[in-house]
Amino acid sequence: MKDKKCEHCTGEVTEEKLEHKVAIPESILSVDSIHAQTNRTYIHNHYKFCTEKCYNLAIIDDLINEFNFALIVPEEKFLDPIKDVQKAKRILQELEDFKTIYAS
């Protein structure tokens, strides 16, 4: 594990067997939805982050980027753009609010 840098910050990854849990409340997005949105890249990559906080902030950043992109091209990303865009905007706002609280 020597000389491994965290994928979110500049911290050192000191433990090999980290098992971080997703901190995003299920009221915003379910864990299954989070894994689907992030292409499941965070399920087995716990060891790339120095802390659970960095792990979760990386997930939140990816989700915020994904929702922002989806809102740019809603007709390509949503089955029912009229209905789904409002829900996506709400989820995006809740993720941004949660990130602000979680990061502090």
pLDDT tens for each residue of 76-94: 988 898 899 999 999 999 9
Of 8-17, 21-30, 54-63, 87-96, give the lowest mean pLDDT range.
8-17
Could you give the angle at the alpha carbon of 95 between the alpha carbons of 14 and 6, nearest 5°?
Answer: 15
Q: What's the mean pLDDT in 1-11?
A: 78
Alpha helical stretches, state H, 1-104: 31-37, 52-72, 74-77, 81-103
Q: Which pLDDT value is given to residue 33?
A: 87
Q: Which pLDDT value is given to residue 19?
A: 73
